[in-house]
């Protein structure tokens, strides 16, 4: 499947869950929030949420600063 993550086109196996995509990208410890097509997906649902071809995903991390 082809999806866009934070503005960058990526390819993943069909039926990869949102959680599997995050793990595949090696950013599981950094991502705090996810939105698919501008809709927030709760972290508790990442393992069950299967993105579709051409979905747009935003993976957000919180950064501290002063």
pLDDT digits (tens, 9 = 90+) for 41-63: 999 999 999 999 999 999 998 77
End-to-end, the C-alpha distance of the chain in Å comes to 40
Q: Report the percentage of the chain scoring pLDDT > 70.
A: 95
Query: Mean pLDDT lowest for which of 7-16, 24-33, 42-51, 55-64?
Result: 55-64
pLDDT for 66 beyond 70? no
State pTM to two decimals. 0.88
Structural tokens at position 15: 């039926």
> Helical H runs in the chain?
18-24
Calculate mean pLDDT across residues 1-12: 97
- List, in order of start, the domains of the chain with CATH numbers: 2-60 (3.10.20.30)
């Amino acid at each position: 499947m082809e999806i866009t993550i934070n503005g960058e086109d990526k390819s993943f196996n069909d039926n990869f869950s949102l959680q599997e995509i995050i793990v595949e990208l090696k950013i599981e410890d950094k991502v705090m929030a996810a939105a698919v097509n501008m809709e927030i997906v709760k972290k508790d649902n990442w393992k069950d949420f299967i993105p579709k071809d051409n979905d747009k995903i935003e993976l957000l991390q919180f950064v501290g600063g002063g």
